[in-house]
């Protein structure tokens, strides 16, 4: 879990840009809250480059370890991701295999987005297995046709 960022309204950056930017000297980054859009993060370019370098190194190191010692990853991953304990054994093995392959590919392209997506999807699967009522409902066969699905629109 990450440390919460100091948060300021986006309008503060617009009204007092120098004072707002000076706050970066006291914190690693500022979360700029926006009312009608996604929040933004403001940090120094030096800090962003340093964090990116650490993430890249960590991803490549993890991919190398996973490739060399997959059993170690299989043993360790449930202690790092406790929600994996709700997955059935076969799903936990599949998740680990997908994690290793995705981490390696993500390190090769320099993007962690695919790893983040994979973890979110498997965490949701674990949540279903953790709730017996929800699992029963979702695992039950359905003979109903719920009709056509509309194509998502780009927002």
Which pTM was predicted?
0.67
Within a domain: 144: no
Nearest in space to 73 (alpha carbons), one of 55, 56, 91, 97: 97
The tally of domains found in the chain comes to 2
Within a domain: 55: yes
For tokens 């300021």, the residue is 8
Q: How far is CA 141 from CA 55, 100, 136, 144, in A?
A: 42, 32, 10, 9
For 10-128, strand residue ranges (E) read 30-33, 40-42
Q: Is the pLDDT of residue 122 over 90?
A: yes
In whole angstroms, give the CA distance from residue 101 to residue 84: 17
The predicted model gives 79-87 an average pLDDT of: 96
Domain encompassing residue 58: 46-139
Tell me the per-residue pLDDT of 19-38, one tens digit each, with 9 for 90 and over. Answer: 888 888 888 899 999 998 89
Within a domain: 1: no
Residues 59 and 122 in one domain: yes
Residues 17 and 91 in one domain: no
Q: How far is CA 8 from CA 21, 27, 136, in A?
A: 11, 12, 44
Q: Is the pLDDT of residue 119 over 90?
A: yes
DSSP-derived secondary structure letter, 110: T
Measured at the CA of 86, the angle between CA 81 and CA 91, to 5 degrees, comes to 90
The predicted model gives 40-50 an average pLDDT of: 90
Q: Is the pLDDT of residue 82 over 60?
A: yes
């Amino acid at each position: 879990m990450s440390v919460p960022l100091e948060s300021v309204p986006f309008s503060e950056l617009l009204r007092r840009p120098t004072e707002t930017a000076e706050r970066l000297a006291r914190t690693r980054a500022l979360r700029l809250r926006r009312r009608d859009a996604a929040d933004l993060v403001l940090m120094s370019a030096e800090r962003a480059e340093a964090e990116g370098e650490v993430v890249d190194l960590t991803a490549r190191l993890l991919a190398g370890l996973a490739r060399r010692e997959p059993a170690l990853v299989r043993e360790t991953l449930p202690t790092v991701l406790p929600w994996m304990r709700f997955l059935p054994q076969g799903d936990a093995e599949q998740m680990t295999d997908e994690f290793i392959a995705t981490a390696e590919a993500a390190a090769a392209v320099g993007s962690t987005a695919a790893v983040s997506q994979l973890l979110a999807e498997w965490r949701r699967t674990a949540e279903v297995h953790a709730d017996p009522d929800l699992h029963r409902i979702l695992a039950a066969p359905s003979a109903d046709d719920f009709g056509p699905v509309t194509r998502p629109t780009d927002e």
